[in-house]
A and B are shown apart, each in its own frame.
Chain A
Amino acid sequence: MENSLLNRIGVPRLIISLFLAFLVAAAFSYGLPMGQIFSAMLTRFGMNALLVLAMIPTIQAGAGPNFGLPFGIICGLVGTTLAIELDLRGFPALFFAIAVSIPLGAVAGWLYGLLLNRVKGQEMTVGTYMGFSIVSLMCIFWLMAPYNSPEMIWPYGGEGLRVTVVLDGRMEQLLDRFLSFSVGSVVVPTGLLLVTALCCVLLWAFLRTRTGLAMSIVGANPRFAEASGLNVNKYRMLSSIISCAMGAAGIVIYSQSYGFIQLYQAPLYMALYSVSAILIGGASLQRATISQALIGTFLFNALLVIALPVANVAMSSDISEIMRVIISNGIILYALTRKEVGGDAR
């Protein structure tokens, strides 16, 4: 019993937390602006939380982490660009974008679910490549789509969307600033965190309904589920629909906080970040909880936020981009090769 606390936290999370604490201490000693850093941590946590929570339905239903998340994300981008095209501003723009994104994401999830039910056991690889293909396919869409808003199309030529569309004055940091307050020099993005909390409560409630339980049963043991009269494919499909819809809404929230939407190749690796965040949080490929998703999102993003400035100062040269890639991909590699992933540990 003496190491039960350690078991509960898990060695990986302990190491990452210690590393984080070390970096925070280092940042302090270098005299970095801690207020800014902590604000950025909170904001990035809120930005990514819904995208990471989107992993839970598919993991619970036995389809593994949703590597096809870019499919949902693209639906969210379509929703956001439509809001700009209609020249909406403020909360109407945000709500419109989310309201359009969710049904589009659900349709994407349905299509993705059709695919997933044909490739049981290989969801991760197939999902990754499907995500890649969709992102590439959508590059053509972004070029050809008949958008007219001068804020989005290329200034010259006048056709096709830009790579980065600025949300300034439309919905930039709308949620972040909502009811926002400062503690010392730390700015708390209240609206963003409230939305995250709301999503958590909704997901929590859903997972405890009869349908949510059915999804977990299907994921835990498909044979058992069949013997309990459940249609395994139906619930796998449902999980994929919910996950992609969450991804679609998630990217709208992400973008409003980020201040830009990034089109073309940008959604390519979004799934990987979310997958690594939830794995770092202690989820396995078969089982994930909301708290694991939240812990993982925080650790992953906090590390990303603080590692760059510290590395920059410590190395006294501009290697931030290199460090960013090493750190973020290192975390992904670590998370995916983690030994304790798998069911028999207990």
Chain B
Amino acid sequence: MPGEKVQGVTLDVKRGEILGIGGLAGQGKIGIANGIMGLFPSEGNVRKDGTPLPLNAPRTSLDSRMAFVSEDRRGTGLLLDNSIEFNIVATATQVQNKFLGGGFPSMIDTKQVTDYARRMIKELDIRCTGPTQFVRRLSGGNQQKVCIARAITLEPEILFVSEPTRGIDIGAKKLILDHLVKLNREQGLTIVMTSSELAELRLVCDRIAIICRGRLEGILLPTDSDRDFGLMMAGEYHNFHRKEAV
């Protein structure tokens, strides 16, 4: 796991919902998405639509129409010294043979790539000088939009988004959250969003799972009280309620 471990998590994700995974930093919540996408060694059972998924196999996860926006934006999420357009299509060319022209040998169709990138740039309002600008030169927020564009290009059924708003400006934050909600409402995309920011989870999610000390503490609704969220994040929710019951 990425520096933190999570274990014994049993979690159902419903089709078409936005599930939040919250908790304090370092409690293990980012391990879930990374594990399911095969980026870090993990064990257990994962089922999608009833079909078991092999773990530790990134390609199978991608083939099962799941996409991941990593919390490690610059390390895992981007090819910093490549153009915006290539970043957006790179994974799709490999996993789904998209953007490759016909004929032999089948080469990348640069025109199609540029057209598509221009559309994504407009849709996500990526502030750049053009589709060929290097991603390294973009601000954190715009880099994050490129990551999301790359994930959507895979046309996933489930989108894992980890820490989508970490270290980015408030304008980009709003745009990214709005866009995620829009994808969910308009295209029925199931989203699993991991974030350390409880406020934003409560803003966009249908349900919020709280991870504490590497375990699933419980699942709350965004409308539940601050007290319950506080107790769950501190890992005292069940202790407290047991005492109350006594």
Contact = CB atoms under 8 A, between A and B. Distances in A.
Contacts of A227: 37, 39, 58, 68, 70, 76-77, 91
A346 B61 CA distance: 34
Interface stretch (B78-86, B178-186, B236-244): B78-86
B89 to A, nearest CB: 9
Of the four ranges (under 10, 10 to 19, 20 to 34, 35 or more), the interface on chain B belongs to 20 to 34
A209 B79 contact: no
Classify the secondary structure of A's interface with B.
helix
Of the four ranges (under 10, 10 to 19, 20 to 34, 35 or more), the interface on chain A belongs to 20 to 34
B137 interface: yes
B105 interface: yes
A213 B81 contact: no
A228 interface: yes
Interface string A218-251: 0011011011111000000000000000000000
A213 B108 contact: yes
Interface stretch (B93-101, B187-195, B211-219): B93-101
B155 interface: no
A230 B94 contact: yes
A339 interface: no
Output the residue of A217, A227, A286, A287 with the most chain B CB within 10 A: A227
Nearest to A209: B105
B138 to A, nearest CB: 12
Contacts of A226: 39, 58
A206 B107 CA distance: 8
A33 B93 CA distance: 53
B80 A343 contact: yes
Contact of A206 (B91, B97, B105): B105
A346 B39 contact: no
Nearest to A205: B105
Contacts of A209: 100, 105-108
Contacts, number: 79
B107 A217 contact: no
Given A205-B105, A209-B106, A227-B70, A220 B79 contact: yes
A11 B90 CA distance: 32
Contacts of A118: none
B62 interface: yes
A208 interface: yes
A48 B4 CA distance: 52
Nearest to B109: A208
A221 B68 CA distance: 16
A13 B21 CA distance: 53
A346 B138 CA distance: 12
A223 B108 contact: no
A228 B77 CA distance: 10
A239 to B, nearest CB: 16
A216 B37 CA distance: 22
A282 to B, nearest CB: 14
B173 interface: no
Interface string B97-124: 1001000011110000000000000000
Given A205-B105, A346-B81, A228 B68 contact: no
A228 B62 contact: yes
A288 interface: no
A210 B77 contact: no
B50 interface: no
Contact of A217 (B60, B70, B94, B105): B94
A333 B97 CA distance: 43
Given A210-B108, A228-B95, 12 more contacts: A210-B94, A213-B90, A220-B79, A223-B75, A224-B90, A227-B68, A227-B76, A227-B77, A229-B60, A287-B81, A346-B81, A346-B137
16 contacts: A205-B107, A206-B105, A209-B100, A209-B105, A213-B90, A220-B80, A220-B81, A224-B90, A226-B39, A227-B76, A228-B58, A228-B62, A229-B59, A230-B59, A286-B81, A346-B81
